[in-house]
Amino acid sequence: MPNEIHSNFRKVYGHSSHSFSTIKKWAAEFKHGHTSLEDDPREGFPKSATTPEIIEKVHDMVLDDRRKKEHEIAETIGISKERVGYILHEELDMKKLCTRWVPSLLTVDQKCTHIKISEQCLEHFNKKKIDFLRRFITMDETWIHHYTPESKQQSKQWTEAGCSGPKKTRSVPSAGKVMALVFWMLKAFCLLIILKRLKQ
């Protein structure tokens, strides 16, 4: 039977016909009662993953963890990575931005103190401009860590269109750190002092 079928296929379709092994497999399936010409239902990605329910699930996952990767979302929901990317960029109008480094994250009280000091310096400058330019030196202190475990690439977060990227201080917990004192004048950097750690 498979030989006859294969021969008929060759007469009609020529070299474009199916191989003998494929036809033999079909004949065996037909013999065991598999006579349907339709594809069997099977697990896999849905034909259309861009539904309101799927979009809402993707959005909720991103809001719960803005560092979530596309492949993690795809595996959790059961859709393709490409479809997740389409939903994030086209449907939710989101993009992933790197964290923007800032010198420090100040409290409200610290900001007020900085404003008062700046006003005092400005008042002094207006009174004695020449002397101020020659002598005025300011200083700040900061912790310098031995290493920063997390890179800017690792700190990327999904952000809605029109919103600025997240902020974080450059210093993060590490194995060790030293205190640095930085001095500068109005137009130039003056001095950097690394304090030695006291022996306990």
Greatest Cα pair distance in the chain: 109
Q: What is the DSSP letter of 149?
A: S
Residue 151: the pLDDT is 66
Residue 192 pLDDT? 84
CB 83 within 8 A of CB 50: yes
CA neighbor of 80 nearest in space, from 102, 50, 106: 50
Q: Are the C-beta atoms of 79 and 86 separated by less than 8 Å?
A: no
Give the tens place of pLDDT for each residue, 130-173. Answer: 555 556 677 777 777 666 566 666 777 778 777 777 776 655 45
Residue from 103, 86, 4 nearest 49 by CA:
86
Give the three-class secondary structure for 165.
coil
pLDDT in tens, 12-65: 777 777 788 888 888 888 888 877 766 666 555 455 668 889 999 999 999 888
Looking at residue 60, its pLDDT comes to: 92
171 against 103, higher pLDDT = 103
- Confidence tier at 127 by pLDDT (50, 70, 90): confident
> Cα–Cα distance between 97 and 194 in angstroms, integer?
33
- How is residue 191 annotated by DSSP? E
Strand ranges for the chain from DSSP E = 94-97, 100-102, 138-145, 157-160, 167-169, 177-184, 189-194
